[in-house]
Structures are given as C-alpha cells and as structure tokens.
Structure 1
Amino acid sequence: MIDILRRNHVVDKPGTTDVPLLYAHGFGCNQDMWADIVPAFEGRHRQVLFDYVGSGRSDPAAFSVQRYRTLEGYAQDLLEVCEATGLTQDVVVVAHSVSCSIAMLAAIERPQWFRHLVLVGPNPCFVNDPPYIGGFERKDLLELLELLDRNYMGWADFLAPVVAGASEQTRSRLRESFCSTDPVMARTFAEATFFADNRADLPRVPTPCLILQHARDALAPLSVGEYMHAHLPHSTLQVLDVTGHCAHMSHPELVIEAIRRVLPT
C-alpha cells in the first residue's frame, strides 16, 4: 500500500472547527509558499499542506512521467491526500496558479468533498487562442521549455521575476524553490501546466469558487479572471491590487482576508 503521507510530505495541523483548509501549491513551488498564510488560521481550522510528487520534499521515487504529464495526475495526488487524511467533507481548498485547475478537476470528480475553492491567480489556459488571451503565444512557451532543457539555472533566473512581480523577497523564495526542483520533474510539470486547456471544464465545476485575480499579472491577465468568472457557474471575482502572480507571498494579508470571507463565522 502506498504511504500517501510520506509520498506527498503531508503536514497536518489540528484545528477545532469542522471546516478544514487544504493548500495546493503552484508549478515550481512547494508547501512552504503558504508560510505567511497558515499562522492566521492555526488552532481554529485544521490545515493540511502537501507537495505534489516531483515538488518540494515529496518522494522522488514515486514520480512517473506518464502519470504527471497531465494535470489529471496532480488532481489524483490532491484527492489521494484528501482520502489519506480523511478530508472528505466541507473542505476549503486554497490553490495557487495551475493548482486552481487541478483543484477544479478534483472538485468535478469528488464534488461532495469540497465546500469552497479559493483560486489565487488561476489560468485555465496559458496559451493565447483569440479572442481568448491566456498570456502567452505557443512559440514563446516552447522557447521557455527549450531554455529549461538547455540552461536550468538560467530558466529559473528568467522565470522568478516574471512570477514574483516587484517583490524581491518573493523573487528570492521562488528562485530557491525552482532551483531545488529536479529538472526532469520540473519540465514534466511545466509542460502539463503551460499547455493544459481546462476552459471546457469550467462550467462543470459544481463547487463555489472565489477567484482572486491579480491586477497586474504577466501569467494571468485580468481578462482571464473575467473569463473564468463568466464561465464558472458559482463564482465570485475579486481583483487584488497586486503586481505579480503570488499574492499569498507578496501580500498575504489580502489572501488571508479573502479566505476568512468564505469560512463560517
């Protein structure tokens, strides 16, 4: 039997309420990216953090290109972590970037498990497909993957400031996370992330969603948040006055306030 808790380096913090929080990190990141959010809910809400296989301190022996070449493989990680920790009712998922799509896939598969999805910087399709503007031309993404293959450290140096925005501290934390990820596993996750197209899944998401859109975000333009709000049947759109793609790291107080609004009083 697979030890999911060890495989995904699950950290389970106890709480007194019946509404647990599950944190799902983005590409190139790990559960440590939530360090500025977790203390706000400690003691009151049970909080579960994990690393996708291939990220953070997960078990590298569990990695499979076949499983993790699509976002469905990462959605299975999320669902298996829920099952292993008994998170099968009233779960609030706080997801960043590509994990927003992963969380939506999980909610479609197990709608009865989830109470709310808090989506930080979501983008269901990073590739421009006019009139839809996802943020990147396909050729630019292919060049980014070629840079990853050719010069992994150079790729990390290029991508970190694009993701972080103006925050030097966030940029440093992201670069450290990028550089600590195995290049083969990072490339697999990168391809799954940047070439996924989950736009058709949006109307199928039964769970209420709070979309936290960054006002100035190179990876998810404002039009993406508006598109998602128009196509997610139970969604609220909140635009954060943030530059970059990581409000939970650069402006954690805004994300904490937003999470509190979807929790029972």
Structure 2
Amino acid sequence: MFAHGFGCDQNMWRYVSPAFEDRFRTVLFDYVGSGGADIDAYVIEKYATLDGYAQDVVDLARALEIKDGIFVGHSVSAMIGLIAARQAPELFSKLVLVAPSPCYIDEADYVGGFNRAQILELLDFLDSNHMGWSQAMAPMIMANPDRPELGEELAGSFCRSDPEIAKRFARTTFLSDNRGDLGAIEAQVLILQCREDLIAPLAVGDYVHAAIPGSELVVMKATGHCPNLSAPEETIAAITAFV
C-alpha cells in the first residue's frame, strides 16, 4: 500500500509502484480532499488529528482483506502508517517510512527543523494565499534546482488540492507531535532519509531510527523531500532490499 504526502495524490507514486506489481498486489489511494477522493466525505473533527487519516488506512486495508502487508508512507503518511499499524497490527508486517517526521517544531533537545514561529508563518502564508504558497514552497521542498520541472509538478499538485481542506491538513500535519507514537512496534520498519531535506532534516531521521528499536535507516543520495519523484530508482532499490 502506497500512501502519499501532504498536498499530493497517488500519482506521486507512478515511478515507484509499477516496479512492485509483478510480485505484489499494489494499492494506491487518495486521502479525502486529495486527488480524486470524495470531498463530501471530509469531516473536520475526524481529520483534526492524524488518527482520522490512520483510521481511513485501517478501514481501506480491512476492506481489501490485507494481512501482513507492506505500507509505504511518504512524509506525513509515514506517521499515519505508524499510527495505523499500532491500531491494527495484523494489517502490516513491514513499514517503509519515506522522509518521516514525528514533529516539525524544535523543542528542548529535539530538532524538528523549524521553530514554532516559522511554522505559524508558513501556515499563515498558506491561509492567505494558497496558490502563492504552492508556487513558492514547492521548489524549496523538492530541492532539485537543476530539474525545475519537478518543483513545477509539485506546485501543480498543491494547487489541485481543495484549498480549505489543504489548509486544515497543513495545520494537522505541521503542528502535530507524534513522537509518542514511536517506540517498539510489531512491524519491521525501514526509514528512508534524504541526505538534504528542508522538511525532515538528517537529525529527524536519526531521531526516528533511535526511537524505533530494530528499525533500519538508509540515508539516500537523493536530495529534497520527494525521492519518489526525484530519485525513483534509488527509492525502488532501497524498498526492494527491505521487502
């Protein structure tokens, strides 16, 4: 099961998921408010925390009768998948966390990459100018200046998201603190960390690795926050070695 990150949809896996179709049944989906999902299914209270999204993952996996599956979650979906695996351990025996972050805000000795004022400024910018935020942030998040088409694709994906839901999902994502959801877990865990990532810097990958006993950390040559787009072959190779 491949799960996309904030502001994206299942199309972000198009370079990765086909590599596994000959050996696995692959599942792609869009969260409510993203891609082709039914906007009418969005309930503010449910999706105020990542638990609501995790419940959707559990419900989908159960509907598809998945047992001992492999969950591959990008960005915020890494934490969503971890929560889902704790809610229903029988569903996934392996988790691949691509550019995960349990908390984006620095706190005491924890380095999340941003201070609270920076996160609030980012969210205020999104609230006031969804299109402008998308155009400004996408190239920074993608971090492949020699391939501007990647930033343009990400900006386009951001812009296609329902603006109101995107604003709420951003707050749910960037103000979340899921460090308490780390720790021992039944599933095997692979952490894929890009060597340069504005959203989830190296210190975050190290923290997640240290907090999940028995987890495996792979620091990729890829830069940016979206190796599924910028470095699909490296992403495929790392996942293949794990599964």
Question: What do residues 85-104 of structure 1 show as CA deviations (whole Å, max 9, x unaligned)?
Answer: 111x1210111001000000
Match for residue 134 of structure 1?
A: 112
* CA displacement at 1:146 relative to structure 2: 1.1
AA partner of residue 98 (structure 2): V
Structure 2 segments unaligned to the other structure (5+ residues)? none
Structure 2 counterpart SS, 1:48 = coil
Residue in 2 that maps onto 1:184? 164
Give the partner amino acid of 1:223: A
Match of 1:112 among 90, 113, 131: 90
Partner of 1:10: none
Percent identical among aligned pairs is 47
TM-score, length of structure 1 as denominator length: 0.89
Contact 2:9–2:30 (CA under 8 A) maintained in structure 1: yes
Tell me, in whole angstroms, the C-alpha distance in 2 between the residues paired with 1:55 and 1:202.
26
Secondary structure of 1:187's counterpart equals helix
Q: 1:39 aligns with which of 7, 18, 39?
A: 18
Tell me if structure 1 keeps the 8 A contact 2:10–2:35.
Answer: yes
CA distance in 2, matches of 1:242, 1:162: 14
Query: In 2, Cα distance between the equivalents of 1:210 and 1:182?
Result: 31
Number of the residue aligned with 1:77: 56
- 1:153-168 correspondence runs (5 A): 153-166=131-144, 167-168=147-148
Q: Which amino acid aligns with 2:212?
A: L
How many residue pairs are counted as aligned between the two chains?
Answer: 241
Give the secondary structure class of the aligned counterpart of 1:229. helix
Q: Which amino acid aligns with 1:215?
A: R
How far apart are the structure 1 equivalents of 2:61 and 2:160? 26
For 1:65, give the aligned amino acid: I
Letter in 2 for 1:202: L
Q: Deviations over 1:118-169 (max 9, x none)?
A: 1110000001113111011111111111111211111101210121111423
Letter in 1 for 2:45: Q
Aligned to 2:220: 240
SS of 1:213's partner is strand
Deviation at 1:39, TM superposition (A): 1.7
Matches within 5 A, 1:12-23: 22-23=1-2
Matches within 5 A, 1:216-227: 216-227=196-207
> Are positions 1:95 and 2:81 aligned together?
no
Letter of the 1:189 counterpart: F
Contact 1:24-1:96 at 8 Å conserved across structures: yes
198-207 vs 175-184, greater mean Cα deviation:
198-207
**Could you list the per-position Cα deviations for residues 29-87 of structure 1 after superposition, in whole angstroms to 9, with x for gaps in the alignment?**
00000000022122321000001111111000101111111100110111111011111
Report the Cα distance in structure 2 between the residues aligned to 1:214 and 1:155, rounded to whole angstroms: 23
In angstroms, what is the RMSD of aligned CA positions?
1.0
1:116/1:208 contact within 8 Å kept:
yes
Structural mapping, 1:254-265, within 5 Å = 254-263=234-243
Q: 1 CA distance for matches of 2:185 and 2:75?
A: 17
Structure 2 Cα separation of the partners of residues 168 and 102 of structure 1: 29
The runs of at least 4 consecutive aligned structure 1 residues that moved more than 6 Å come to none
Q: Which amino acid aligns with 1:98?
A: V
Letter paired with 1:208: Q
How far does residue 204 in structure 1 lie from its aligned partner after superposition? 4.3
